[in-house]
Amino acid sequence: MGSMEKVKATRELEDIIKEVDYLSLQKQMPSSFALEFITFIKMVNGEGGEEHKSPIIHLDMLDQVAEHDENLFVAFRGSAKTTALHEYMFLYIATYGGIPKFGEVNVAIYVSDTIDNGVKSMRQNLEFRYNKSEFLQKYIPWVKFTDVRWEFKNLEGKSFCVRGFGASTGVRGFKEYGERPTWCHEEGTIIGSDFGTMKVED
């Protein structure tokens, strides 16, 4: 490992955050995907609408999802990153079969702190959202929820499966429908990256 690589690997999360240009959010011009996703959220919730208006930070996150294969989002508590980027994203993929520019998604994994806490909570949230939404029930007519496996079949007959894992659970070799996952969400745990190992709280 060269000297520059050592410097890169030992950077602290706080130092990386200091380099973020927050003023750029004021000039945010959301992509068509971000606007489509926000519209999807409104359709899911029907006339009742979402509890809060969609903040600019969500539009920026959605733009990153559409443009990059790998993303690490570090956000303050209460930013609803789990709701937007995990809960609604799974339901979006289940409805439409994939993500624009990213492509088709058949299998996904969701890694949280523990199965009993984060994974089961996500299952409850997805199931609650589905049972309350006429839109989802119309466009995803078949679903099957267990504590760690959530399967959907949309109106066109396309299947999508999400498997939940605790952070200490091995995911090696996991497959559904004979294929490995192409979409992974990891939250509320320890993240390893080129910048080292960092604790990420949800």
pLDDT of 95-136, one tens digit each?
999 988 888 999 999 888 788 888 999 999 999 999 999 999
Predicted model pTM:
0.76
Q: What share of the chain in percent tops pLDDT 90?
A: 33
Of 107, 116, 99, give the one whose Cα is nearest residue 32: 99
Average pLDDT of the segment spanning 55-74: 67
Average pLDDT of the segment spanning 139-161: 96
Query: Is the predicted pLDDT of residue 14 greater than 60, yes or no?
Result: yes
Compare 175 and 13 and report the one with higher pLDDT. 175
Query: Is the predicted pLDDT of residue 201 greater than 50, yes or no?
Result: no
Average pLDDT of the segment spanning 149-158: 96
Domain ranges of the chain: 15-187
> For all residues of the chain together, what is the average pLDDT?
78
Of 119, 47, 54, 60, give the one whose Cα is nearest residue 90: 119
Alpha-carbon gap, residue 58 to 154, rounded angstroms:
25
Total residue length of the chain = 202
8 A C-beta contact, residue 101 and residue 33: yes
